[in-house]
Homo-oligomer: A and B are copies of this chain.
Amino acid sequence: MRSFACDYIAGAHPEIIKRLTETNLEVLPGYTEDKYCMSATERIKKACQREDLEIFYLVGGTQTNQIVIDTMLANYEGVVAAKTGHVSIHEAGAIEFSGHKVIEIEGEKGKLSADKVDAYIKAFYNDENHEHMVFPGMVYISFPTEYGTLYSKNEMKEIHEVCKKYNIPLFVDGARLIYGLASYENDLSLKDLCDNCDVFYIGGTKAGTLCGEAVVFTNKNMPKHFLTQVKQHGALLAKGRLLGVQFDTMFTDDLYVNIGKWAIDKAEEVKEIFKRKGYKFLLDSPTNQQFIIMNNEKIKELEKEIGFSFWENYDENNTVVRFATSWSTTEDDIKELEKLI
């Protein structure tokens, strides 16, 4: 059955699986110290136009969020995030497991605003009892957000300014970064991202690798003995080559750019179809996830024919469902979808 259920329904992009096969018998050192990790790092630096980046390869998104947050925060600090942030609700308490509070503040369509972040932190320091509270030690945003929306370059810069004012890092969760970069509405380059946050990651899992996230530290701020800390969190991959080869391939001949573009083009077609058929959207998403308000009976019928996913309840008769595209979305998938709705 054809599926728009999520952006990780297939294996790896064929070019990646091919490179894994080609390099399979090479003798390589472990723990991400192989030449492919090194090459990937060089290519990412180039794509970012920044020579001074520090990069580490991890396996999954929740793991990456947990490790970045736990290793960059002091014990007494928590991370400020939108209530709808992945770290706030969909990581089974992975952040709290490592001892830190997620300080949830109201966002809009998945986004935090510089003003709200500033207001929260300002009020914190003005509170005479703040020494009895969790210190805001980092700001976490997602690009794109969990609702598919994007920060403009200027919006991100503003949030970063607030962070700099309070001397805390801005962390950008880039699980779906390539779709943000490829969006028709985006005005942020990889270099802009590097220049406007303190740490981010380039998602692999949702972008065409079998697994893997590349964490990028932008200010010579990789935590001390980071490899040891990754090991302590149970996250150091023995055959680091699995990550190295995949990211090296992603950043060869602009594969990550092309995957992003393909998925965004397909998402725009999906959006167009639903619009034409009169469906309403939860919000206007410029990336690869589209959130449609659908009648519950239509859902029951449609889910027999094509894959998509439950997002959240809307009202008694309607549910928000998600249709996602990726490198593996085909033109036939789109045609089939058009027929069915």
The reply to whether B27 and A241 contact each other, CB–CB distance below 8 Å, is no
User: How far, in Å, is A201 (CB) from chain B's closest CB?
Assistant: 13
Q: Given A131-B227, A238-B61, A307–B93 Cβ distance below 8 Å?
A: no
Which chain A residues (23-50) contact chain B, with CB distance < 8 Å?
23-30
Chain B min CB distance to A64 (Å): 8
The answer to whether A12 has its CB under 8 Å from any CB of chain B is yes
A62-B231 in contact (CB<8A): yes
Whether B6 lies near A24 (C-beta < 8 A) is: no
Copies of this chain held together in the complex = 4
B132 contacts A76, C-beta separation under 8 Å:
no
Query: Which one of B96, B211, B310 contacts A96 once the chains associate, using CB atoms below 8 Å?
Result: B96
Complex-state Cα separation, A128 to B320, whole angstroms: 12
Picked from B90, B100, B132, B210, the residue with its CB within 8 Å of the CB of A242 is B210
Main secondary structure of the interface of A (DSSP, over half): loop
Interface, chain A (partner B; CB < 8 A): 1-3, 5-6, 8-12, 14, 17, 20-21, 23-30, 59-67, 70-71, 74-76, 78, 89-94, 96-97, 99-102, 104, 123, 126-129, 131-135, 205-206, 210-211, 224-225, 227-229, 231-239, 241-242, 307, 310, 312-313, 328
A-B pairs with beta carbons under 8 Å apart, 24 shown: A2-B27, A3-B27, A8-B30, A11-B20, A59-B211, A59-B237, A60-B234, A60-B235, A60-B237, A61-B238, A64-B234, A65-B234, A66-B234, A71-B75, A78-B93, A90-B129, A92-B232, A93-B101, A94-B231, A94-B232, A94-B233, A97-B99, A97-B232, A127-B312
